[in-house]
Structure 1
Amino acid sequence: MTTTDLPSACPYREVQDRNGRIYRIGETDRDVMGRPRWTMVLFPWIGMMAISSSEYAFTSAEDTLHDAHAWSSGNIFWLMGVWVFFQAAVAFPAGQLRESGRLPARNAMMLGALGTLLGYFSLAYAPHVIVAYFGYGMFSGIGAGLVYATCVNMVGKWYPERKGGKTGLVNGGFAYGAVPFVFLFTSYLDLHNYQGVFVFVGALCCAGLAVSGWFFRDPPKNWWPADVDPLKRTDDPRILRALEKNPPAVKQYTPREAARTPVLWMMWFCLLCTAGINIFGIAMQVPFGKDMGFAGGIVATAMSLKAIVNGTGRGVIGWISDRYGRRNTLIFVCVVLGLAQYGVLASGKLGVMPLFLVCSMVSGFGGGAIFPLFAAMTADYFGENHNATNYGMVYSSKLISGLVGSGVGAIAVDLWDYEGAFVIAGSVGLGSAVLATFLRSPGRPSPRKIRPNPMPISREAM
């Protein structure tokens, strides 16, 4: 006679810290999904690279779109603004649907793949710019927003103890994944092949999103790595440093509770300003370089370097923020982003190509670094359980920043030429650095306000 052991769920227990926050411990990543959690960095990273071309490579196809469809430059810039609008608009509702269980991560990625494919098909075959506004601006923007919200928040859930570097790495794919397409659109795209090229790129990105999204899996609510005790001081210096500089949220804030804190709306406005500068640089750097007399190859190289540094900077800045604190790093990034706008303007006006490339890279670094910082900071301040919705509220500022950076940026260039537009962008960046100094984790008392206990526990009453 033989017996068969029935499978049973891996035992876990929930512990509570002094702030009342609950941690679910005892389950490893393999217990939850049957594979190591680094795969939930790899697959989101691939997904982010697959949607990057829709934003960062789009302006490189401006000349071909203008000649092929007779669209004006204003229409093309506003087309990008509409894409950014919908990409940001979907972040909050997507977060709510994800956390309620009505939109599994895998389904969100599949919808994103479909939207990306429709976007490129509309660029190839749209009979009128209105069709492109719906196909590329709305459907592709919504698809990219679903992918972005799913990928970024997934990493923070699987790495709650050290999320900065991992979030930055995944977020970086949203920029440097566009580099091959920047060169493809700049050097190869023309009136004879644009339809085939757009269809090929759309199918390639769609396949990448579908394949990577198939492996997505959320951890249980309140999950914490089994090898890291949330109530004790860890011996791992990397985790110890990250938790000291960026302590976990005092509790898991619901979206309603987070919306009542002033710090969330300060983060919203700070991201509005910095993201607007980033979109402005993406939209205006190519035409500015061409107007300053730089060759098309130089401009393409500058845009590619901007995308590379934009992406790699996101990963590096996440690692730096784990070491030195998210708020301090954000202040530094805002200063760099603001000063870089003055540098791009000066180098273009002087015709100094090497300086133009350097300033373009520095601008790309600052513009890319803000997004993983805010993603990780939202989880640090408000917890991981509702991070998709909470970060969706913060990220919704890109609704306005996309239109301001591309559409209004084009208007500013018409009114005040490039000098006025770049000076305004640089000043806004420096102002954002001042605003960032006021960001504090809600519910956590300031060290200056903590008074020593006049009756320590160790003192015995006589």
Structure 2
Amino acid sequence: MTTTDLPTSVPYREVTDANGRVYRLGETDIDIMGRKRKWMVILPWVGMMGISSAEYAFASAEDTLHQAHLWSEGSIFWLLTTWVFFQAAVAFPAGRLRETGKLPARWAMMLGALGTLCGYLSLAYAPSVTLAFIGFGMFSGMGAGMVYATCVNMVGKWYPERKGGKTGFVNGGFAYGSVPFVFLFTNVMDISNFKVVLVTVGVFLAGVVAVAGSFFKDPPKNWWPAEIDPLNPPEDRRARRSLEKNPPAVHQYSPVEAWKTGRVALMWFCLACTSGVNIFGISFQIDIGKEAGFAGGIVATAMSLKAIVNGTGRGVIGWLSDLYGRKRCLLYVCVILGAAQFGILWSAEAENLPLFLIFSAISGFGGGAIFPMFAAMTADYFGENNNATNYGMVYSSKLVSGLGAGMGFVVVDAWGLDGAFILAGCISFFAGFVALFLTPPGRPRTRSSGGIKPNPQPISREMD
């Protein structure tokens, strides 16, 4: 079933605003899927938690994998890079298949569950690092990419009027879902039990993704909540403020149209820089903590704190962006993420554990907050109908930013951890400068983009 062929016996009408954008009104969430739309926040959140440990807890398993399989440290870092590469690479084609109806949301989630299981089985049993690159790096990465793209875009379709906080909440599951596994891989797993631990975790997480995904359902194209008037300021205070600060796209942009605006390229570059810094921090924060002389358990605590704040920060910044605007929040996040890299370096050199924990948390907040900003901003700029493909283009920047692990290893080897963290901080600041040039396409460049202006002669169509 696709978003363009959704049977319903409920009458609906289509209205057009002054910019020519069409809104489909009349059907409620219960009419469409038999349950409240809040479930399309809860279930994607659960699905995101199911894939999070493959990225965020991987660094915690590094030592055990090195000892158990005798893989080099460089190979292990490139394993994570490969995983991130394929996770990003699948976003655009999966989004295109989703929007053409060839890949229903439920099937995308099932494929993601299968990839998750393959990844953990590969880490447990791969006889060579080459097979681990195929099983974990490629299949698990592609599976995670399908789950990520499906979950993030699902919530944006069901909450087009205030997507920031909801998108941030769902996005947060990609981080703090890894917290128990950071402790598990650091404090419980060793070379005597790593196969049992990895297989058990893989089966459990694949089941979580599959069960959550089995209930997924898309709304019809152009769907808009029946209780929210798209042509006039809504009565709901939260929806009204969100639409004032982040007005909906002037029309539903196709991927080609979105690219021609130039905004996709700017978003791509900014996300490549900031997510690269985030992945670098995930990969090397444990190393710099150990170099500073902090105990392994303390460093694991710092990573867990980073993951928790990374996840909760996504929800918080999404909510704040509904109140104050996506672009303003994005600029602050770039500055915070860059400053945190210098703070981690300084606190490690000073061997100051409390400050190390604080800056780790701040870095986690900045590294996580960038993703819901770009996810929501893509829908704000280009509309929801083609958001899976449009955001797939933006998110494909992780093809480059995934080098934050592999290339980070090269930079650390050449410049040391000090030089690498300084470079990471500067990259984040530069991304903030580039983000200054982001503006919604089709709208005048003013200090305040204003709310939705009603069309005095809307076109409407009643259907029985």
Superposition TM-score tier, normalisation by shorter sequence: over 0.9
Number of positions where the alignment pairs a residue of Structure 1 with one of Structure 2: 444
Residue deviations 1:6-28 (CA, integer Å, cap 9, x gap): x9710000000000000000000
Residue deviations 1:366-425 (CA, integer Å, cap 9, x gap): 00000000000000000000000000000000001002x101111110111011100000
- Long gaps (5+) in structure 1: 1-6, 451-462
Kindly, what percent of the aligned residue pairs are identical? 68
Matched residues in 2 for 1:415 and 1:175: separation? 30
Aligned to 1:82: 82
Matched residues in 1 for 2:233 and 2:183: separation? 49
Aligned to 1:69: 69
Aligned to 1:121: 121
Q: TM-score, normalised by structure 1?
A: 0.95
More relative contact order in 1 or in 2 (CA 8 Å, sep 6+)?
2
Matched residue of 1:153: which SS? helix
Aligned to 2:280: 280
Matched residues in 1 for 2:263 and 2:144: separation? 27
What displacement does 1:312 show?
A: 0.2
What displacement does 1:448 show?
A: 7.4
Aligned to 2:94: 94
Aligned to 1:421: 420
Residue deviations 1:136-184 (CA, integer Å, cap 9, x gap): 0000000000000000000000000000000000000000000000000
Matched residues in 1 for 2:38 and 2:24: separation? 19
**CA, structure 1 residues 214+339, in 2 after alignment: closer, same or farther (shift >3 Å)?**
same
Task: Say if 2:412 and 2:419, in contact at 8 Å, map to a contact too.
Answer: yes
Aligned to 1:383: 383
Matched residues in 2 for 1:449 and 1:295: separation? 50
Aligned to 1:362: 362
Matched residues in 1 for 2:65 and 2:131: separation? 14
Residue deviations 1:207-266 (CA, integer Å, cap 9, x gap): 001100000000000000000010111111111100000000001000010011111100
Q: Please show how residues 207-222 of structure 1 align to structure 2 within 5 Å.
A: 207-222=207-222
Residue deviations 1:279-299 (CA, integer Å, cap 9, x gap): 000001111211221100000
Aligned to 1:331: 331
Matched residue of 2:133: which SS? helix
Aligned to 2:150: 150
Matched residue of 1:447: which SS? coil
What displacement does 1:206 show?
A: 0.5
Aligned to 1:268: 268
Matched residues in 2 for 1:19 and 1:356: separation? 50
Matched residues in 1 for 2:432 and 2:159: separation? 28
Name the aligned partner's letter for residue 38 of structure 2. Answer: W
Residue deviations 1:116-138 (CA, integer Å, cap 9, x gap): 00000000001000000000000
Residue deviations 1:315-372 (CA, integer Å, cap 9, x gap): 0000000000000000000000000000000111110001000000000000000000
Aligned to 1:440: 439
Matched residues in 2 for 1:442 and 1:311: separation? 30
Name the aligned partner's letter for residue 368 of structure 2. Answer: G
What displacement does 1:447 show?
A: 2.9
Aligned to 2:236: 236
Residue deviations 1:170-207 (CA, integer Å, cap 9, x gap): 00000000000000000000011000000000000000
Name the aligned partner's letter for residue 446 of structure 2. Answer: P
Matched residues in 1 for 2:14 and 2:207: separation? 39
Task: Say if 2:8 and 2:31, in contact at 8 Å, map to a contact too.
Answer: no
Matched residues in 1 for 2:341 and 2:8: separation? 59
Q: Are 2:402 and 1:402 aligned?
A: yes
Name the aligned partner's letter for residue 412 of structure 1. Answer: V
Matched residues in 2 for 1:437 and 1:281: separation? 24
Aligned to 2:304: 304
Matched residues in 1 for 2:369 and 2:344: separation? 18
**CA, structure 1 residues 8+327, in 2 after alignment: closer, same or farther (shift >3 Å)?**
closer
Matched residues in 2 for 1:277 and 1:60: separation? 18
Matched residue of 1:14: which SS? strand
Aligned to 1:108: 108
Matched residue of 1:24: which SS? strand
Matched residues in 2 for 1:82 and 1:447: separation? 42
Aligned to 1:30: 30
Matched residues in 2 for 1:449 and 1:174: separation? 32
Matched residues in 2 for 1:311 and 1:384: separation? 24
Matched residues in 2 for 1:216 and 1:109: separation? 9
Matched residue of 1:414: which SS? helix
Matched residues in 2 for 1:317 and 1:351: separation? 30
Task: Say if 2:77 and 2:406, in contact at 8 Å, map to a contact too.
Answer: yes
Q: Are 2:195 and 1:188 aligned?
A: no
What displacement does 1:445 show?
A: 1.4
Aligned to 2:289: 289
Task: Say if 2:91 and 2:145, in contact at 8 Å, map to a contact too.
Answer: yes
What displacement does 1:60 show?
A: 0.2
Task: Say if 2:119 and 2:136, in contact at 8 Å, map to a contact too.
Answer: yes
Q: Please show how residues 124-203 of structure 1 align to structure 2 within 5 Å.
A: 124-203=124-203
Matched residue of 2:15: which SS? strand
Matched residues in 1 for 2:191 and 2:271: separation? 38
Name the aligned partner's letter for residue 162 of structure 2. Answer: R
Task: Say if 2:43 and 2:213, in contact at 8 Å, map to a contact too.
Answer: yes
Matched residues in 1 for 2:329 and 2:257: separation? 26
Name the aligned partner's letter for residue 156 of structure 2. Answer: G
